[in-house]
């Protein structure tokens, strides 16, 4: 082999060198990381509208592209220069599937585009539907992640959340990293209707990450043939209070076939020690401050009251005038099992108990006209309670 031949690169060597250069140059310009740090996720779905929220790591524009098919043909813009993006889409068709994605652009020109997700507008009054019930997702992202996947596996139309969304309301990372992120698969496709718990501390973060009609700490919405009434039970609910009068008025004018209340604290509960030490003394078996709401529920024929606060499951028999009445009572469902450390029951059974179960869990309610099926499912996907109601 002559000297020159050794110096001259072969064709194969040139190709390897060219490939090396290509890889090296592409490695020098990695794709810009997305500035979308939370979401997108869905809030307050109606028959004709929905709100889409997401957060970015720096100030940017807000744009949602959506349509009944891809490529997405419609778009709606929100605020130009913000980190928390909240875009309301109106003028949608009822009971219709849509796809969407969100886009944020910084002043420097960097653009972040989310994946494409889906949502469905609220169904018509005569259509069957299902909703999940979760509560007390606080301080346990692994369990909330697991529960939210099981909830999504049920393909509910929407989910209700009765508070203690996080352990400490002022801590922003609990909202983003412990509540939103573990449930992204669910919340990017299914709207959650939430209400305040004591741990959320009525903090500005609730109003930042949860979007309901003003004043947001209490509201009502209709879905299919049901109407939901959500209250903040950390605020006053006794006779004469603003919430009590609001609820009395709203329940009185409701024409819905099914009426459901959602709030954080339990009017009835068999918890071992929150309402007196049941191992050593007497207990009213529930929060007496909530009993004025019970009077309204009975007066207006509420069907089911959902709550949490106590971190385990309990379903009561129908209750009327402080005794069981299977024919025309209100059922109370404590579904505080989506995250927070489990609690326990009094050593003796309460007069109202139909079922107790101590495990992380969620509830799924399916409604078809005058028939309602309620199921409670544990963190392993096992059904542990079921009831069928007919009007
Ligand atoms: Fe809680
Ligand atoms: Fe609580």
Number of the ligand closest to the Cα of 266: 2
Number of the ligand closest to the Cα of 196: 2
> Is the predicted pLDDT of residue 3 greater than 50, yes or no?
no
How far, in Å, is the centroid of ligand 1 from the Cα of 333? 15
Between 5 and 321, the more confident residue is: 321
How far, in Å, is the centroid of ligand 1 from the Cα of 159? 18
Please, what is the average pLDDT of the chain? 94
> Is the predicted pLDDT of residue 184 greater than 60, yes or no?
yes
Number of the ligand closest to the Cα of 136: 1
> Is the predicted pLDDT of residue 12 greater than 80, yes or no?
no
| CB-CB contact of 374 with 354 (8 Å) | no
pLDDT digits (tens, 9 = 90+) for 194-218: 999 999 999 999 999 999 999 999 9
Confidence of residue 2 (pLDDT cuts 50, 70, 90): very low
Task: Write the DSSP string, 22-81.
Answer: HHHHHHHSPPPPP-EEEEEEEE---SS-EEEEEEEEEEE--EEEEESSSSP-EEEE--SS
Number of the ligand closest to the Cα of 167: 1
Residues with CB under 5 A from ligand 1 (ion): 136, 164, 340
| CB-CB contact of 371 with 387 (8 Å) | no
Residue count (the chain): 391
pLDDT digits (tens, 9 = 90+) for 232-280: 999 999 999 999 999 999 999 999 999 999 999 999 999 999 999 999 9
Rounded mean pLDDT of 12-23? 52
Confidence of residue 4 (pLDDT cuts 50, 70, 90): very low
Q: CA distances (Å), 37 to each of 85, 148, 303, 334, in order?
A: 11, 19, 40, 33
How far, in Å, is the centroid of ligand 2 from the Cα of 266? 10
Note the pLDDT of residue 25.
52
> Is the predicted pLDDT of residue 29 greater than 90, yes or no?
no
260: closest CA among 129, 94, 88? 129
Cα(183)–Cα(361) distance, integer angstroms: 15
Note the pLDDT of residue 43.
98
CA contacts within 13 A on the Cβ side of 203: 19
How far, in Å, is the centroid of ligand 2 from the Cα of 99? 35
> Is the predicted pLDDT of residue 39 greater than 60, yes or no?
yes
CATH class of 129-390: alpha beta
How far, in Å, is the centroid of ligand 2 from the Cα of 312? 12
pLDDT digits (tens, 9 = 90+) for 303-348: 999 999 999 999 999 999 999 999 889 999 999 999 999 999 999 9
The crossing angle, in degrees rounded to 10, of helices 291-299 and 242-253 is: 20
How far, in Å, is the centroid of ligand 2 from the Cα of 178? 17
Note the pLDDT of residue 1.
42
Cα(361)–Cα(339) distance, integer angstroms: 9
Confidence of residue 10 (pLDDT cuts 50, 70, 90): low
Cα(125)–Cα(142) distance, integer angstroms: 36
Note the pLDDT of residue 11.
53
Rounded mean pLDDT of 101-117? 96
CATH class of 36-120: mainly beta
Q: Where are the domains of the chain?
A: 36-120, 129-390
Q: Which ranges of 93-239 does DSSP label H, i.e. alpha helix?
A: 141-153, 172-173, 184-187, 204-209
Give kind and range of the element (H or E) at residue 368.
Answer: strand 361-368
304: closest CA among 253, 350, 358, 366? 366
pLDDT digits (tens, 9 = 90+) for 125-179: 999 999 999 999 999 999 999 999 999 999 999 999 999 999 999 999 999 999 9
Number of the ligand closest to the Cα of 134: 1
Confidence of residue 30 (pLDDT cuts 50, 70, 90): confident
């Amino acid at each position: 082999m002559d000297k020159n031949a050794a110096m001259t690169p072969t064709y194969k060597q040139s190709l390897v060198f060219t490939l090396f250069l290509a890889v090296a140059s592409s490695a020098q310009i990695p794709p810009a990381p997305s500035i979308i740090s939370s979401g997108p996720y869905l809030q307050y779905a109606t028959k004709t509208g929905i709100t889409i929220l997401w957060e970015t790591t720096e100030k940017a524009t807000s744009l949602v592209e959506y349509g009944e098919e891809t490529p997405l043909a419609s778009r709606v813009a929100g605020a130009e220069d913000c980190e928390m993006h909240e875009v309301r889409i109106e003028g949608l068709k009822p009971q219709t599937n849509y796809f969407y994605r969100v886009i944020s652009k910084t002043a420097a020109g960097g653009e972040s585009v989310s994946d494409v997700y889906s949502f469905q507008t609220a169904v018509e009054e005569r259509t069957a539907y299902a909703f999940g019930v979760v509560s007390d997702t606080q301080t346990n992202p692994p369990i909330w992640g697991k529960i939210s996947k099981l909830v999504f596996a049920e393909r509910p139309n929407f989910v209700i959340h009765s508070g203690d969304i996080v352990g400490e309301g002022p801590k922003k990372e609990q909202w983003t990293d412990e509540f939103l992120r573990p449930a992204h698969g669910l919340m990017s496709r299914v709207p959650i209707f939430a209400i305040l718990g004591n741990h959320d501390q009525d903090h500005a973060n609730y109003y930042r990450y949860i979007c309901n009609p003003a004043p947001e700490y209490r509201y009502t919405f209709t879905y299919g043939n049901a109407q939901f009434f959500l209250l903040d039970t950390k605020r006053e609910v006794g006779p004469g209070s603003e919430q009590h009068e609001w609820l009395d008025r709203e329940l009185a004018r409701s024409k819905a076939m099914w009426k459901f209340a959602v709030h954080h604290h339990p009017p009835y509960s068999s918890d071992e020690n929150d309402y007196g030490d049941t191992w050593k003394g007497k207990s009213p078996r529930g929060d007496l401050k909530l009993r004025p709401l019970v009077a309204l529920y009975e007066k207006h024929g509420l069907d089911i009251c959902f709550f949490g606060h106590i971190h385990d499951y309990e379903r009561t028999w129908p209750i009327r005038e402080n005794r069981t009445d299977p024919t025309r009572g209100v059922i109370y469902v404590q579904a505080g099992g989506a995250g927070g450390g489990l609690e326990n029951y009094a050593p003796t059974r309460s007069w109202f108990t139909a079922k107790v179960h101590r495990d992380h869990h969620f509830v799924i309610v399916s409604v078809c006209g005058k028939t309602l099926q309620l199921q409670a499912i544990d963190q392993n996907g096992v059904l542990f309670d079921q009831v069928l109601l007919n009007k």
